[in-house]
Structure 1
Amino acid sequence: MYAFALLGDGAERAVERLAAAVEGRVGVVRVGDTATDGGVTAGYGGTEYVVDERWRATGDGLSVSDALDRLAPDHDYAAVLGDDETGLPTIAVGDGVEDAVFEADDARSFDTGAAIEAIHETEPHETLESLVAEVKRSQSADYAGAIATFTGRVRAKEDTADDRTHYLEFEKYEGVAERRMDTIETELEERDGILNVRLHHRTGRIPDGEDIVFVVVLAGHRREAFRAVEDGIDRLKDEVPLFKKEVTDDETFWVHERET
């Protein structure tokens, strides 16, 4: 699922135009004063979750991240309106927004085609649940008797005497990392009994306790599924150009510089 923030006076009209132009299901997360009777209202005490008027739930304290995680398994896009603190790629409609991946002066001049291209250049928002949902939709799912997964997370400490790791920050070799993961997925899927494989590694700053990397394998039987998961994470770590910075209580360092 591609997730992005839409900011500016023309954001409401722009998200309507984007939703009409893209192929797939679009979720909207509305924050604070942008909250209406639709989408997901997040971040201000009482919250409401609405999807296509068919399913509704209420609760307290739903964050923007929580809302995106709920949308990810069955949506192709999610737009966040009214919150410029998400760290998401930003679509700006109007003045006063910095570092936007796409900008328009107003909703009238908003080029939906160019905006969609810019969104597709960003990193998708994936969760373990969204990747499992994706492989379940595979054309080969009728032949599957197993789904095996691996989730890697940020470890705060490896030993009680260690300094606490506050966060990891990942950078990737743009283009090369994606192609390498695609190759690993394809080669694992060529094995007997392996029906579908999905790899995903987050980039940017990831605090301790949060998930970093996922491997999901759809297979005919459990044994080949488990082997493919183990080989998938091993190959991802060995072959995909990702660079990790670690920030602890006392120091900040690039991990690959310590290993050489």
Structure 2
Amino acid sequence: MNKIIVQKSDFDLTTEVTLARANDSDIGAVVSFVGTVRDLEHSSIQSMTLEHYPGMTEKALNTIAEQAQKRWPLGNTTIIHRVGKLSINDQIVLVVTTSKHRKAAFEACEFIMDYLKTQAPFWKKEQTNEQSKWVEAKDSDTDQMDKWAL
């Protein structure tokens, strides 16, 4: 089962992992990834605003979750992505994958995050003391995504 949510409010990791594991005695592995707002370049980021197209974004996230389900023997997949204005250390994204075995859960989680970083229809704008700028995908993120090509 895939759980896809795009929301402004924060999420609770413990609650979401518990829900992903619920009622499935075959689950032997649960992998989660939480992405947070950071000031990677030490440019005094004050906030980050994430924008999306409602409906289109959820459809794209569901498509990537379905692709992960086809590539690996997964149980449940959760993707929660926040939008709106976020501050340093705020949670942005949660990916949870469950499987009978850890390798499938780890690889599927990494696959989904690589997709989210490079191809998901989100637009990020960083606000510093001096300026605001749109954030482009990094070449290193694109290279990471390329390893999943068929």
TM-score (norm 2): 0.79
Give the letter for the 1:123 counterpart: Q
Verify: 1:127 aligned to 2:17, yes or no: no
Provide the residue aligned with 1:243 in structure 2. Answer: 123
Provide the residue aligned with 2:38 in structure 1. Answer: 155
Contact map agreement 2:8 2:84 (CA 8 A) in 1: no
SS at match of 1:223: helix
SS at match of 1:190: helix
Provide the residue aligned with 1:57 in structure 2. Answer: none
Contact map agreement 1:169 1:245 (CA 8 A) in 2: yes
Measure the CA separation in 2 of the matches of 1:165 and 1:231: 28
Contact map agreement 1:163 1:250 (CA 8 A) in 2: no
Look at both structures and tell me which one has the larger radius of gyration over its CA atoms: 1
Measure the CA separation in 1 of the matches of 2:56 and 2:70: 21
Classify 1:208/1:250 alpha carbon distance in 2 versus 1 (closer, same or farther; 3 Å): same
Deviation at 1:127, TM superposition (A): 2.6
Verify: 1:232 aligned to 2:112, yes or no: yes
Contact map agreement 1:145 1:219 (CA 8 A) in 2: yes
Deviation at 1:129, TM superposition (A): 2.3
List structure 1 runs of 4+ shifted beyond 4 angstroms. none
CA RMSD of aligned residues (A): 2.3
Consecutive unaligned residues in structure 1, runs of 5 or more: 1-121
Measure the CA separation in 2 of the matches of 1:142 and 1:199: 21
Provide the residue aligned with 1:144 in structure 2. Answer: 27
Cα offsets for 1:70-123 (capped at 9, x unmatched): xxxxxxxxxxxxxxxxxxxxxxxxxxxxxxxxxxxxxxxxxxxxxxxxxxxx83
Measure the CA separation in 2 of the matches of 1:147 and 1:258: 28
Classify 1:221/1:258 alpha carbon distance in 2 versus 1 (closer, same or farther; 3 Å): closer
For structure 1, which segment, 216-225 or 249-258, has the greater mean C-alpha deviation from structure 2 after superposition?
Answer: 249-258
Percent identical pairs in the alignment equals 29
Question: Within 5 Å, which residues of 2 pair with 1:129-208?
Answer: 129-137=14-22, 139=23, 141-156=24-39, 158-159=40-41, 162-208=42-88
Deviation at 1:206, TM superposition (A): 0.6
Deviation at 1:224, TM superposition (A): 1.1
Give the letter for the 1:142 counterpart: S
Measure the CA separation in 1 of the matches of 2:132 and 2:106: 35
Cα offsets for 1:139-170 (capped at 9, x unmatched): 5x2101110011110113x25xx321111000
Consecutive unaligned residues in structure 2, runs of 5 or more: 1-5, 140-150
Give the letter for the 2:33 counterpart: F
Cα offsets for 1:162-210 (capped at 9, x unmatched): 3211110000012110001111112212334311111111000110011
Measure the CA separation in 2 of the matches of 1:177 and 1:199: 12
